[in-house]
Structure 1
Amino acid sequence: MGTASSILTQYDIEEVQEHCNNLFSQQEIVSLYQRFCQLDRNAKGFISADEFLSVPEFAMNPLSQRLLKMVDGLNFKDFVAFLSAFSAKASAQQKIELIFKVYDSDRNGKVSFKDMLEVLKDLSGPFMSDEQREEVLSQVLREAGYTKDSYLTLDDFIKVLGQSDLKMDVEVPVD
């Protein structure tokens, strides 16, 4: 599994399966490996930000720049681990942990009002003014028992979003 052009062995498949908490079947891992090799155009063994941007669905995502910070330079095992949060079998906590990482762009383990405002700006684009975004976000925080001065930790995210029915599932096509 050293380079993208190498063959995926049964041992590799099982190792990757274990690395992603068995959220993907062996067939799905083989399909993901084929997609990984397509994206890794230079067969370096990892996918660069530019290669990720070649996926139209990724490039069009309003959070693509934030996601790029998380995925740039992933090897196959880490690529599958990243995608595992999108598995239908992933727990709500696994999905929330990924969402938290998207918001926590400076990786300090806390999400500030400013961090949340930046994500809301990415998501809403020109359809909301800065004032509208601040008002909406302040209201959401108040309803959840927080203020603009609060810093949310992963536990806070789990508490707030844990009641939600998060739909972040992506189906892996199996040949």
Structure 2
Amino acid sequence: MLGLKKMGNASSTLTQYDIEEVQEHCNNLFSQQEIVSLYQRFCQLDRNAKGFISADEFLSVPEFAMNPLSQRLLKMVDGLNFKDFVAFLSAFSAKASISQKIELIFKVYDSDCNGKVTFNDMVEVLRDLAGSFMSDQQREEVLSQVLREAGYTKESVLLLDDFIKVFEHANLRMEVEVSVD
């Protein structure tokens, strides 16, 4: 447990031990300065200093609220404490591997958390992303083509390793810049 010092109603400081513990928890994908900056942002979001961020607090971030996948992401982020908040964001680090990024995407697609992604799961996410810009038929054609190119069919059920195989050559741009004061 993080030994955070409390001052008034807000957690104000991280000890060196806390910073190193969080760094280890996120596989050292953030520098110590970035963790301190993320902690400041976490405290801003955690309006009542409860030690975790609720879905409503996440929705107060305009970029998050406007994301077409925000409802899917909320299931993953609601109630995160600081360590898990940083671990979640680590997939968006420039230092994160492509498989770490794909693993997060897999969790978004696997909305029932059964460890499997079906063609219908992918169609639903694409519907959320593309909205009315694509018809259902266009979505299915695009996904069928992507799956075919990776050696799968519409009937395939993808596990994480399969999902990585399908998307590892995609040019994924999933990065968040952490401003260090």
Please state which band the TM-score falls in when normalised by the shorter chain: over 0.9
Structure 2 residue identity aligned to 1:103: Y
2:31 match? 25
Alignment correspondent of 2:178:
172
SS in 1 for 2:13: coil
2:37–2:180 CA contact under 8 A, matched in 1: yes
Give, in angstroms, the shift of residue 82 of structure 1: 0.3
Residue type at the aligned position of 1:140: V
The gaps in structure 1 that reach 5 residues or longer are none
Cα-to-partner distance string for 1:46-69 (whole Å, 9 max, x where unaligned): 000010000000011111111101
1:76 corresponds in structure 2 to 82
Is residue 134 of structure 2 the alignment partner of residue 123 of structure 1? no
Query: For the structure 1 residues 165 and 72, does the alpha-carbon distance in structure 2 shift closer, same or farther, using more than 3 Å as the test?
Result: same
1:66 matched residue in structure 2: 72
Name the CA distance, whole Å, in 2 between partners of 1:158 and 1:11. Answer: 35
2:163 corresponds to: 157
Paired with 2:170 and 2:129, the residues of 1 have a C-alpha distance of 19
Task: Pick the aligned partner of 1:96 from 82, 95, 102.
Answer: 102
AA in 2 matched with 1:50: D
Higher relative contact order (CA 8 A, sep 6+): 1
What is the aligned length?
175
Q: CA RMSD in A?
A: 1.3
Letter in 1 for 2:168: G
Matched with 2:143 is 137
The Cα of 1:6 is off from its aligned counterpart by: 4.7
Q: Measure, in 2, the Cα distance between the counterparts of 1:48 and 1:83.
A: 16
> Which secondary structure does the structure 2 equivalent of 1:5 belong to?
strand
Runs of 4+ that moved beyond 6 A: none
Kindly provide the amino acid, as one letter, of the partner of residue 55 in structure 1. Answer: V
Instruction: Please give the alpha-carbon distance, in whole angstroms, between the structure 2 residues aligned to 1:167 and 1:18.
Output: 24
Q: TM-score, normalised by structure 2?
A: 0.92
TM-score normalised by structure 1 residue count: 0.95
Q: Which moved more, 1:121-130 or 1:136-145?
A: 136-145
Give matches, 1:28-39, under 5 Å. Answer: 28-39=34-45
- The gaps in structure 2 that reach 5 residues or longer are none
